[in-house]
Structure 1
Amino acid sequence: MDFKRRRLAVTLRNQLNYPLQFNPFVFSKLFLLWIAVGIVGGVIAGFYWTVLEGLLHFLAQFQGLYVIPIMAVAGLLAGLVIHFLGDPGEMDLIVNNIRFKGGRLEPKNNPSMILSSWLCIASGGSAGPEAPLVQVVGSTGTWIARKLRIKGEDLRSLSIAGMASAFTALFGAPLGGSLFALEIQHHKHISEYYQALMPALVASCSSYVIFLLVTHIGIGPTWVFPIYATPELNDFFYAMLYALAGTAAGWLFIFTVRQCRRIFQKLHVPIYIKMMIGGLIIGTIAYFVPLSRYFSHDELNVLLEEQFTLEFLLILLGAKILAIAFTVTSGWRGGFIIPLFFVGATVGMIVNTAFPGQNLPLIMVSCMAAINACVTRTPISTTILLATLTGFHHFIPILFASLTGFFLAPKTPLINAQLGVKE
């Protein structure tokens, strides 16, 4: 024991004599690669978003009955792109490749993903750009790693860093985007990917700065939420209570998606016909309930600003769930995170309208957190993302709601690859 103490004392004295130096890791090859992946991701995300905004403004001219043929044609064209350029896959494929193929995301189908998702999102599909960008930027990380002969866990980390930088560019939350890229891999824990957290954070920060420079989007909450007063102890319990409504909506959404998936699996037709049929259905829903159209990035602010009756909110809830379900099961490309937040906000409005006098911002953020955590199994990142997007900076009530949705989620996740079983 005395020997160990003397050795420790000598070590401490030697450390005191060491000159102060920079951490050599900052100048390492891997650190610079993480920054490079983030910069490339920010450029790609900025270019993608700029073109998408232009297409959205152009196609937004077509309203009323024109919505139905526009979305049918968009589905047909997007399907033809996928038919001739290759199927880029969906989130299940990304998670499977990260888990079972050493993190290798194939970039060969990126042109197909970019073109088809532009058509699907801009024409009014109820799916957002996060999933396409995750595939494109994540596979770019893989491509960079291959060119530099990087293998093993470093390659996987670069792919995850690319995914995180894509999430961050769109959501404006480097920490939330990084954790989402890790949490989405598995619904039980993220410990096996913890070593990828630092690459994801570094890439996310550089991606966010570049994305802001390219798009000139301001820094601040995306949605203008009502002001939330200082939290009280009871708010944590109310958050869990309100989260039950969001979780129920999550169960309904998962059930609806599975039923729609069965319907389209029975259609033995080419992908472009299936997507055209999907476009007709989504377009018809959008014609009767216009607020259900698009991926709800802007529509959520409309929901917050205007007053709606309980009957309309219930119709909107059903229409939006059906629109998202038909979008993601008919082959249309896009992600459902932001649309799910819209569904959660609608549920919150329904609860507040049915039982007036409640804490509206707490109800809405609780329902939004619960439904997303229920469907995507990402309670930690959901908490941080929502706090950033809504300006609701009291994390604990959101976390209580997220955990409620996570633990009350169905046994089998919607993203089958989260089961951890190779398909």
Structure 2
Amino acid sequence: MRQLPRQPTLPCPGRARPASLPFLPLSRWPLALPLAPRGDVSTWWQALLPAVLASALALFFDWLHHGVDHLAERFTRPWARVLVGSALLAGLLAAVPLLRFSGHAELPELVALVENSAWWALAGLALLKVVATVLSLSAGWPGGEFFPLAFAGAAAGLLTTALLPGTDAGAALAAGMVAATTVAVKKPLAIVLIMVFILPGTALGPLLVASAVGTLVVKLAEARTPAAAKGH
């Protein structure tokens, strides 16, 4: 895997949903993240597979969220839903402490896993972050899905550096974050602008490619949903 320059800081948008992100605070955390090099057109096509994989993960999030919410409707008392969901979430977070927070401050941990070739751990974190986010939302805990899905998408994107050796880690990370959040939030332009703040200095090309892939996946999923409904 090609070594990349690292970005020393990351803006802190907190755990807010995208609608509130124009009010970004000015505080920063010293996070080291790889950046996609500007002027390297090869990172554009290298963003394709990370974007596809992260988009698939976001579709899994949507499917799981719908299924868990449907299952939770069987609880006639709201407190029972909160209690069961919270207990499951607490067990998962106790087993995997890296899942405890929204994910933006834990992004460097994913880079460390790549450097150590801990691919199974990376894949597990991507999937379990989705599960933890669904449990949190279904149990009624505050916080949105933006940063958790960005974390999961980054993990999925970075997995492609093992599948395609030579893939730029900065491009893979950025593409995964953009694609996953685009599919989940369905606001491609806003997502790209947010990622420009989160990853200052990274190349714009991989962000745009991932945004296009995520948007295409959203359109295909929306087109398939009415067709599936008619089939039943």
Question: Given the two structures, how large is their TM-score scaled by the length of structure 1?
Answer: 0.46
How far did 1:273 drift?
2.8
Q: 1:379 aligns with which of 151, 167, 188?
A: 188
Between the aligned partners of 1:168 and 1:240, the Cα distance in structure 2 is 28
Aligned partner of 1:167 among 11, 17, 21: 21
Whole-angstrom distance in 1 between the partners of 2:15 and 2:69: 21
Which is richer in helix?
Answer: 1
State the Cα deviation string for residues 90-128 of structure 1 (Å, max 9, x = none): xxxxxxxxxxxxxxxxxxxxxxxxxxxxxxxxxxxxxx7
**How far 1:333 moved relative to its partner?**
1.8
Rate the CA distance shift 1:231–1:321 in 2: closer, same or farther, 3 A.
Answer: same
Displacement, 1:257?
0.8
Checking the alignment, whether the CA contact within 8 Å between 2:33 and 2:107 is kept in structure 1 is no
Alignment CA distance shift 1:283-1:308 (3 Å): farther
Match of 1:207 in 2: none
Q: Which residue of 2 aligns with 1:97?
A: none
Give the match's secondary structure for 1:168.
coil
The AA in structure 1 aligned to 2:16 is E
Aligned partner of 2:82 in structure 1 is 275
2:171 counterpart of 1:317? no
Q: Distance in 2 between matches of 1:379 and 1:288?
A: 34
Provide closer, same or farther for how the CA distance between residues 316 and 393 of structure 1 changes in structure 2, counting only shifts above 3 A.
Answer: closer
- 1:345-360 equivalences under 5 Å are 345-360=154-169
Are the counterparts in 2 of residues 225 and 391 from structure 1 also a CA contact under 8 Å? no
- Classify the secondary structure of the residue corresponding to 1:230: coil
Alpha carbons of 1:358 and 1:237: their partners in 2 closer, same or farther (altered >3 Å)? closer
Whether the 8 Å CA contact 1:341–1:372 is kept in 2: the answer is: yes
Matched, 1:299 2:106: yes
Q: 1:292 to 1:364 in 2, by over 3 A?
A: same
Indicate which of 258, 280, 293 corresponds to 2:66.
Answer: 258
Which 4+ stretches in 1 moved above 4 angstroms? Answer: none
Contact 1:250 1:374 survives alignment (8 Å)? yes
Q: List per-residue Cα deviations over 1:305-340 (Å, max 9, x = no partner).
A: 453611212221221110001111122221110111
Quick check: 1:390 aligned with 2:161?
Answer: no
Say if 1:324 and 1:336, in contact at 8 Å, map to a contact too.
Answer: yes
- Distance in 2 between residues matched to 1:392 and 1:379, nearest whole Å: 19
1:42-121 equivalent positions in 2, closer than 5 A: none
Change (3 A) 1:367 1:222: farther
User: What CA distance in whole angstroms lies between the structure 2 residues aligned with 1:241 and 1:311?
Assistant: 18
Alignment partner, residue 37 of structure 2: 229
Structure 1 equivalent of residue 93 of structure 2: 286
RCO higher in 1 or 2 (8 Å CA, sep ≥ 6)? Answer: 2
Change (3 A) 1:130 1:349: same
What is the CA–CA distance in structure 1 between the aligned matches of 2:184 and 2:206, rounded to whole Å? 19
Structure 1 distance, partners of 2:92, 2:56, is 22
Alignment-derived partner of residue 411 in structure 1: 222
TM-score by length of 2: 0.80
* Cα drift, residue 288 of structure 1: 1.5
Q: Report how many residues are paired.
A: 208
Q: Give the superposed CA RMSD.
A: 2.4
Q: 2: CA distance between counterparts of 1:386 and 1:360?
A: 16
Give the Å deviation of 1:391: 2.1
Compared with structure 1, are the counterparts of its residues 352 and 363 closer, same or farther at alpha carbon in structure 2 (3 Å cutoff)? same
Q: Which moved more, 1:271-280 or 1:399-408?
A: 271-280
Q: 1:337 to 1:223 in 2, by over 3 A?
A: farther
Determine if contact 2:36/2:202 at 8 Å carries over to the other structure.
no
Larger Rg: 1
What percent of counterpart residues are identical? 20
Q: Partners in 1 of 2:203 and 2:112 — Cα distance?
A: 22
Alpha-carbon shift at residue 226 of structure 1 (Å): 1.3
Counterparts of 2:97 and 2:145, CA distance in 1? 18
Compared CA separation, residues 344 and 402, structure 1 to 2 (3 A): same
Distance 1:294 1:308 in 2: 24
Contact 1:239 1:397 in 2 (8 A): yes
Asked whether the 8 Å contact 2:46–2:168 carries over to 1, the reply is: no
Q: Is the 8 A contact 1:373 1:403 kept in 2?
A: no
| Contact preservation (8 Å) 2:50, 2:158 | no
CA pair 260-403 structure 1, distance change in 2 beyond 3 A? same
* Cα offsets for 1:146-196 (capped at 9, x unmatched): xxxxxxxxxxxxxxxxx5xx3223xx3xxxxxxxxxxxxxxxxxxxxxxxx
Check whether the contact 2:126–2:151 (CA below 8 A) recurs between aligned residues. Answer: no
Which among 13, 16, 28 is matched to residue 130 of structure 1? 16
Partner of 1:84: none
Check if 1:243 corresponds to 2:78.
no
Unaligned runs of 5+ in 2: 1-12, 224-232
Amino acid at match of 1:168: P
Give matches, 1:36-47, under 5 Å. Answer: none
In 2, distance between residues paired with 1:267 and 1:343? 29
